[in-house]
Each structure stands twice: as structure tokens, then as C-alpha cells.
Amino acid sequence: MTLTVDFKDEQEIYEIRVAMKAIVRKAIFNTLVYEGFDKDVEVSVTFTDNEKIRELNKNYRNKDSSTDVLSFPMFNSTEEMEYMDVVPLGDIVISLEKAKEQAHNFYHGSYHELAFLSIHSTLHLLGYDHETSKEDEEDMFRRQKEIMEIIGF
């Protein structure tokens, strides 16, 4: 599997460091490996701020509040990807402001939070949804925890 990540920076608060991109890429890659995804993949990752992610959250989810990460899957199911050589999996949008705040509140580092949000969002791109039932939430959170351990967090 080859992973291509297209990074965009749509915020002016934090400098985007090579290590930040590396941890996001590592988290996405290991999530795909964990899930047994063997196709070549393209993912777009946009770093933004609370104001811009709030606008997206309001426009796409009817929630007028900032959030940490949004996922915009290209497909409704993995079956749709079956015959593709390269899968444009979707878009991930991360509020670096919110990530930094949560890292502080949860007493762990910013890279830990970036990895977690990237894993969480990639699972959404693959069709997982923790808001559909308690069982789905437990399953998704278990996966997140196991992948975080795989990548060393």
C-alpha cells in the first residue's frame, strides 16, 4: 500500500512542522494497515483554526461550534472502492487550536493529540461511526486505542 497525503495549511496561528506532518501520516498509514486496507490511498489533510472549523461544522453538520476534527469521506462504503487501483479516501480537517487545547486538558503532548485525531478521522473515512450506537462507539474507541499503542502512544 502506498499512502499519499496532500497537506494544506489554512491557519496562521501555528507553524506547521515536518514532524507534525510525519505523525499525521504515520497515524493514517498505521490505521489503514491495522484495518487491512491494501489499496493505494490518497488523503487530504487540512490544518485550520477554531473559527474555520466552526464554519465547516455548521455548514456540514448543522452544529454551530468549533470541533477538533472533521472527516469528509469520499465513499459511503469500502465496497465502492473495490475496483479502484488508487482510492481517494477523503478529507480530514484538524483544528490545531482545538488540538492544542485538548492536549493541554488531557495532559499529553500535541503530537499525541494529532495522532489520535488522525486515527479517529481515518476510521471515519473508512466508515466507522461512534455516534450510531454504544456498541459502535466502543468498537471505534477500542480500535483507536490499539492503533495509538501500535504507533507508540
Predicted confidence band of residue 83 (pLDDT cuts 50, 70, 90): confident
Burial letters for 80-111: b for 16+ Cβ neighbours within 10 Å, e otherwise?
A: ebeeeeebebbbbbbbbbbbeebbeeeeeebb
Q: Can you give the pLDDT at residue 41?
A: 96
DSSP 131-149: TS-HHHHHHHHHHHHHHHH
Q: Can you give the pLDDT at residue 75?
A: 87
| Residue 94 pLDDT > 90 | yes
Predicted confidence band of residue 115 (pLDDT cuts 50, 70, 90): very high
Provide CATH code, domain 3-150: 3.40.390.30
Beta-carbon contacts of 39 under 8 Å, excluding residues fewer than 6 positions away, are 1, 81, 84, 85, 86, 87
